[in-house]
Structure 1
């Protein structure tokens, strides 16, 4: 290799993101040998064509991949290397989940507070409700509770609620047996989604409260623990629901037709012109109708605008073949629900008309 293409270990370390000591370690391990070693001084030099390999080596070690696995990845072709990386990540995730569950047991033993039964629900129904409501969550560093699902247990029902502050989804479930006590808490959404995949296959799931979260207990399976999100308060959704104005315009439209029109809509914002016989989809800028969908409704005509990312999920998660939109004005939350099943409801916030022009 020409001398001009070689670089000393310090320069190569900066290029690859590895420290000189790490490079010496990987050279001794046989993973990344220097291009040349000075016979007298022992100084090591590396070639520019080794930077890519060194970078991948560093990235694999950042995944906590052991040296034998790193060596196998570096020696493999692209397809096999990708498979080996996926296998390692899956193993790390399994180990992390095992550690989390063991930590729950340890923390419970430290508090000496037993878990308390709250309610029993049908497993498939609970799992479906979790998936539906969690579409309204969002990850926001300043408000971790927005990534959670609020569970409220009353004497008669279990209510699940989530919000990203632009949508609010809620579903009320009838327990398999009357709840044993009232309870409320905001539960980690990702852990609840993973647990829902387990309880979906079980006829009945029992919900217990623990000092740090809830336990979902099913027959012949390991308990599923979902931690409470204690940082910050969940938005006061009950006050918002109580403050909703009276519905002025109501329309019922085919869910499939509305979704298809939303999917074909070219812009990021979309307007709805609601009349007693149609729902017209409006294009931002000129406000002209891009598509018209047959509908039935009552009340005065109304134009209202939404972000597509707000409206589409609200419609797509509605139950049944037809969706009902309850409108209160162009600047008020719209209630979106099934036309014949009222236990799952989403509120969607519109945008101001002048923002669309």
Structure 2
């Protein structure tokens, strides 16, 4: 006797989104046997309680999981099944990245593009430099180049620079080998971020480039390709050269400065720079925070956007951060007191008034 609550294979196929032939295949593979097979006709019949497994099976196959992996996921508890799905996705992403790199190499071969050596450096050193400056890049759909990092190789080393128009971060690192190449291009910031983990683990990286991409040749970890952006990068060197003289300079303990900023819950931060103190204030709190500092020059009252100031301080190296002020309307330069190869410029904002929106919104 057949169970009247069971569905024939055609009806079940429509319910779960699989074809009848696929259901027969998954039965043969042992992944989804029918609830019953009629003894006289050999028809496969399926129960309502099998729908969830059938739908999950279909979805796992749609993301390309192998039969063996699907079988494990179907029979696993939810936590283990999620781990198996994540593991499969990681493999797919890695395979896609490898295919993309291979495709780029094939296209280079077909188009006979020449690859130019740029520099050889310590992987962790380059990763640190990129990580520090890329915080100044931004995802602006109207100006894609602001999401990139400018690479400039020359006799002084390799300089990496990023800017979002409100701040600019630049750092120069010295190559490990002597390469006189002069080269400058803007590299996609997203591609660089995705390469950072492998770059940190590679003792040495060789940078090569052609007209469309920059290659990071990583020791023991394969290669990473980063796209080059065609838009012209902002003329940051002209801006740096045009900066007025420094009027006030402050050396501030980095950790104390960061802790004070993290205690603020405001969009804009005021800094009162005096002879031996820097005071942080905002319109959201009545409690000012005073930080001992060494100050040269006249006192100054200046305001910054939190999202502009904090990344500049947090990326600084060393126990003290050195800030050069040029009045309350000009960019301030943030450097480490003991290392000057990382420089960040941050634009101040107009002093806020009670009830006013942030300066960027006005």
- Shorter-chain TM-score: which interval? 0.7 to 0.9
What is the deviation of 1:184? 0.5
Asked whether 1:90 is paired with 2:90, we answer: yes
Aligned-pair distance for 1:210? 2.1
Counterparts of 1:228 and 1:349, CA distance in 2 = 29
Pairwise CA distance, 1:161: 0.5
Measure the CA separation in 2 of the matches of 1:84 and 1:261. 43
In 1, distance between residues paired with 2:133 and 2:208?
20
Whether 2:345 is the aligned partner of 1:331: answer no
Contact 1:149 1:186 in 2 (8 A): yes
Instruction: Give TM-score, length-normalised by structure 1.
Output: 0.78
Deviation digits for residues 166-210 of structure 1 (CA, Å, limit 9, x no counterpart): 321100123334432211111233433454544545554332222
Instruction: Give the match for residue 77 of structure 2.
Output: 77
Q: What does the per-residue CA deviation read over 1:114-136, in whole Å, with 9 as the maximum and x for residues that have no partner?
A: 32222333343223212222222
Do 1:115 and 1:209's aligned partners in 2 also have CA atoms closer than 8 Å? Answer: yes
**Cα drift, residue 212 of structure 1:** 2.3
Q: State the match for 1:209 in structure 2.
A: 209
Is the alpha carbon distance of 1:201 and 1:95 closer, same or farther for their aligned partners in structure 2, counting shifts above 3 Å? closer
Whether 1:168 and 2:168 are equivalent positions in the alignment is: yes
How much does 1:151 deviate? 0.3
Residue 236, structure 1, aligned to residue 223, structure 2: no
Structure whose alpha-carbon radius of gyration is higher: 2
Q: State the secondary structure of the residue aligned to 2:333.
A: strand
Contact 1:118–1:179 (CA<8 Å) still a contact in 2? yes
Task: Find the residue that maps to 1:158 and give its secondary structure.
Answer: strand
Deviates more, 1:122-131 or 1:70-79: 70-79
Deviation, 1:238, is 2.0
Q: How does 1:1-357 map to 2 (within 5 A)?
A: 60=60, 63-66=63-66, 69-70=69-70, 72-201=72-201, 204-217=204-217, 221=220, 224-285=223-284, 288-297=286-295, 298-307=297-306, 309-354=307-352, 355=357
Structure 2: gaps spanning 5 or more residues: 6-10, 35-46
2:270–2:301 contact (8 Å) kept in structure 1: no
For the Cα contact (< 8 Å) 1:248–1:300, is it kept in 2?
Answer: no
CA contact (8 A) 1:195 1:224 kept: no
Residue 159 (structure 1) shift: 0.8
265-274 vs 23-32, which moves further: 23-32
Q: Check 1:67–1:251 CA distance in 2 against 1; reply closer, same or farther (3 A cut).
A: same
Contact 2:300 2:328 in 1 (8 A): no
CA contact (8 A) 1:117 1:180 kept: no
- Secondary structure in structure 1 of the residue aligned to 2:165: coil
Structure 1 residues 262 and 285: CA distance shift in structure 2, 3 A: closer
Change (3 A) 1:202 1:222: closer
The separation in 1 between residues aligned to 2:67 and 2:288, in whole angstroms, is 58
| Structure 1 vs Structure 2 CA RMSD | 3.8
Q: What is the deviation of 1:70?
A: 4.8
Range with greater deviation from structure 2 (292-301 or 56-65) = 56-65
Instruction: Report how far residue 63 of structure 1 moved.
Output: 4.1
Shift of 1:271: 1.8
CA–CA distance in structure 1, aligned partners of residues 76 and 160 of structure 2: 48
Shift of residue 275, structure 1, vs aligned partner = 1.3
The structure-2 alpha-carbon separation of the partners of 1:301 and 1:51, relative to structure 1 and needing over 3 Å to count, comes to farther
